[in-house]
Structure 1
Amino acid sequence: MPSNAPLILFWTRWFNRPVDIAAIAQCAVPVEWTNDRRRLAEADAVVFHLPNYREIGDARKYPGQLWVAWSMESVVNYPMMADAAFMRHFDITMTYETGTDIWTPYLPDADWWEAARRAPMPLKYESAPAVHFQSSSFNKSGRDTFITELSRHIAVDCYGRYRPNREIASPDLGRQTKLETIGRYPFCLALENSIAPDYVTEKMFDPLAAGTVPVYLGAPNAAAFVPDGSYIDAASFGTSAELAAYLRYLAETPQAYEAYFDWRSKPLPECLTRQLELTASRPENRLAELVRQRLSLRAGPPTGRPYLPLGFKRFLSTRLRRLSGKFRER
């Protein structure tokens, strides 16, 4: 590592475990990564995982240091992301939102899309027409009510840790088994835990990879993240009965159902291709490059004393909580 390589410190954990430095050590941009909080004073940039916001309060900010706000979670679930008074402490933002400094959507890369297009269509043989996977109780989107009401009109097989009515058959090989299970159904309920622009997660993309039609409830601009005509917008139906009737129609009309897979034989839309180009480089590479750019603009060596951006009261409560090991993230 060059002696002048910027040092980027991950101050917080990633939910309940330390950031895996080894996994990003092969970054194409010459920087040094660490999660050793003892090196705070020498760090050129400090990254804070916002869902672990309780761990931020005892960080001092040193002159010239860049603070990075990092999150893949919905602003609805973590409203501090929309709090200007809180966010002003950060110099770089790194989230799923398109206006962020370093855009990190859930959008799969170009190789994923090509593999999804080539994958054979699986046989649909389950008795229920729809499947749903859910393990979290987060429900800011109203998905609990959505499933309850839809299930009154059409059968839904639910898997996962949250309110399942079916169990995965052994052996459970994780993601592979999940996709194989989804592929056995004509439809997959792709229900986000909250509704926010740009917040389009793997819930949309897993059914596309599995060869199943997503029934999507989530971001109002979800169409910008997928090929045209590849999913069903649940919000476009006035009632659950209307949606159920449409799903039954598709299940009984092969030509209409198969039209949802026409995207596999067409080029990806230009807007999606542009997004794939913007995110072709890994997030850590783009972060490292931006940090180096920002540092190069310095007029001279930074001067001044470190301070506590969130105040002494937050510093003290965070330090006491850290000493007692009583952080609660989720």
Structure 2
Amino acid sequence: MSTESLLQDNSPAEWDSLEYHKSTGTDSQASQDYLIFFISGNPGLIYYYEPFLSKLQSLLSLSSFSPAHFQIYGHSYKGFEISPHVDSISEPAGLKQQIKHHEECLRGQVRKHQGEFPGKSLKVILVGHSVGSYVLLELIQRHKQMVQNDDEVDDFDLIGGILLFPTIAEISQSNLGRIARLILPLPGFVGAVGVIARFVTSVLSESALNRVVQLATRFPEYAAKTTTAFLKSSMGVKQALHLARDEMRMIKNEWDSELELGTILGKEGEFVHGNVVIRDANKGLQDRWVADHTRDNIIRAQKEQGQVRKEEYTTQSVIDDRGTRHDFCTTLDSSDYVAGEVKNWIDDIIMRHGQMMRRSSTFGKPPVGQPT
């Protein structure tokens, strides 16, 4: 049985990308267009997020901003392809390649919009989960540098960023990161696990493997099927381990100063507003992939924002006291809950951006990074 038969009952036409559209109001010509560009965690299969993104789509229809058109788009990381007609890469891709891959995907969606609606403005909000939050920050930095250097860039406004359980600094110091940094560098480890995975998936039928996955993980059907497809893909297991090893090596301290200054997503008048979701340490909730000191830095940054030049900062640290798992996308209840929160933050980002633009027009000049 092929991967196609495994997912055909409840998957979109393209299993390596998800795209949704939702409009509010009836005047499509006068509507403001928004692209919600989603970046997943590792393993980077976008289909884990199908319930989350489809729920977000339905909730955006309730947005108070009208007329507006919302496009939600997310794409799997390189090396995680499960569509039978997609040629996967021959060697696993590292974190830098994944950043470039998502930058190309983002600009591809922007160019597609420009081709379909020439002259119509597009506002972009980035949403990243886990290591996707690190990719998100890198995309912001690259876009910012291109604008500041007057390089040719696609015409869009980057107005917001949402980081869900972000692994953006010292991931190797987290509880699970400490284990990963010990075993992932072992010579031959990644290759050996890949060989074992291929052997197991060749012995078991897809239906049997899917049952084993469900029993072992207690995942709902969509997540179990995605995991089964991931295990049977030509590069998936090796790619996930290679990327995790790269995360341990690369995700160090480069964003620490940003955290301490409370400017992780920029100051008002620059590029973006945003929300950072972390666990509530006061209730004993610990994110096993986010180091405690990273969490504490984010909380301290939020406190500093309330004391120093509060009017300039628009980043908000959102404390999760519900006990939502880091891998929220593998349960339907958590997917629905996070979708509801993200919808509210999207509304807030749009509102704050509108206020910023009205203030800047009053003083006669646009914010830094916004087109004149």
TM bin (shorter chain): 0.3 to 0.5
TM-score w.r.t. structure 1 length? 0.34
Higher helix share: 2
